[in-house]
Structure 1
Amino acid sequence: MPDAAVATVAGFTVVSGAVAMLTGIAGLQGIHRLRRVGVEAWALVKQAGPATDDGPARPLLQYETRDGLVMQVRSPAPASRRHPLADGSLVRVRYDPDDPRELLLQGRERTTLEYVLVGAGAAFILLGAGLLLG
């Protein structure tokens, strides 16, 4: 049986791993749900403000829902060299018909980040369990 300090560290490790894993799973479920039930639309990229401390500025995407409502939301993914989001260009998005503010930039889903969270969470859970059992 490990001492109290090791058990405390192991407990925090397991809980942290579980939070990371659940965050990744929730993100993957959201992406898969939008791929399945989302409505495809073309969005106009509009210039965003200057970059912030959080990272590069995310441009605004303006699109029309099938109900005729014009939406303007921040891009869920920032522009990059590989995928520039130039002002005035058109990109394909999938939006949730129940909540059109929730959208997915097609081809820029960033599932790798979600899989990394799931994997890191599983590793932390196993590490914490090893500390408790070892």
Structure 2
Amino acid sequence: MDTGALVVLAGIMLFGGLLAALAGTYGLRQARRVSATGVRVPALVKRRPGRPGEGAAILLQFVTEDDRVMEVACPVRPTRRRPIRDGDTILISYDPADPRDVVVQGHEALGRERAFVVGGAVVVLLSLTLLVVAIAGG
């Protein structure tokens, strides 16, 4: 592969890696902000039956400070260690500016955001390595 093609490939990889890392960082920041400064309220867990072959959707129903009833999709999936059952009441934090933005207290699922940060950083490092190889070899 010629040097120009390697530089272009490294540039595309660098852009994609930076974008992924920034998206993950933004997600982590938002979750921390809502968890720390959001309004904490109890939410009722409801399961909406799914179509055949799909799992049932988990919904959270809560009342905002201005007495609006909100029903949002649960941002976390139940596990054996931390089950979320139909009819349970769990504590959530929501962003008063956008009540659809919720964080389940004690169940923060930040694995996807961390994976974006780590994956983006790996791609950035690979692209920089490819760029150094292309420049040194050309």
Instruction: Tell me the TM-score normalized by structure 2.
Output: 0.85
2:47 is aligned with 1:47: yes
Structure 2 Cα separation of the partners of residues 120 and 87 of structure 1:
35
* Shift in Å, 1:56: 4.1
Give aligned-pair identity as a percent.
36
**Pair 1:131 & 2:130 matched:** yes
Distance 2:52 2:38 in 1: 30
Q: Which residue identity lines up with residue 13 of structure 1 in the other structure?
A: M
Deviation of 1:121 (Å): 0.8
Once superposed, which parts of structure 1, at least 4 consecutive aligned residues long, lie more than 6 Å away?
A: none
CA–CA separation in structure 2 for the residues paired with 1:116 and 1:131:
22
Name 1:117's counterpart in structure 2.
Answer: 116
Point out the structure with the larger strand share: 2
- Correspondence 1:1-134 to 2 at 5 A: 3-50=3-50, 56-134=55-133
Structure 2, unaligned runs of 5 or more: 134-138
- RMSD value, Cα: 2.0
Counterpart of 2:92, as a letter, is V
Aligned residues: 132
The 3-state SS of whatever aligns with 1:102 is strand
User: In the alignment, residue 30 of structure 1 is paired with which amino acid?
Assistant: Q
Q: CA distance change for structure 1 residues 51 and 31 in 2, over 3 Å: closer, same or farther? A: farther
Cα distance in structure 2, aligned partners of 1:100 and 1:113: 21
**C-alpha displacement of 1:82:** 2.5
Mapped partners of 1:30, 1:52: distance in 2: 34
Indicate the structure (1 or 2) with the bigger Cα radius of gyration.
2
- State the SS of the aligned residue for 2:57: coil
Name stretches of at least 5 consecutive residues in structure 1 with no aligned partner. none
Q: State the secondary structure of the residue aligned to 1:101.
A: strand
TM-score normalised by the chain length of structure 1: 0.87
CA shift digits 1:80-121 (9 cap, x unpaired) = 322222111111100011111211111221223222211221
**2: CA distance, partners of 1:12 / 1:52:** 41
Contact persistence 2:50–2:57 (CA under 8 A): no
What is the deviation of 1:47? 1.3
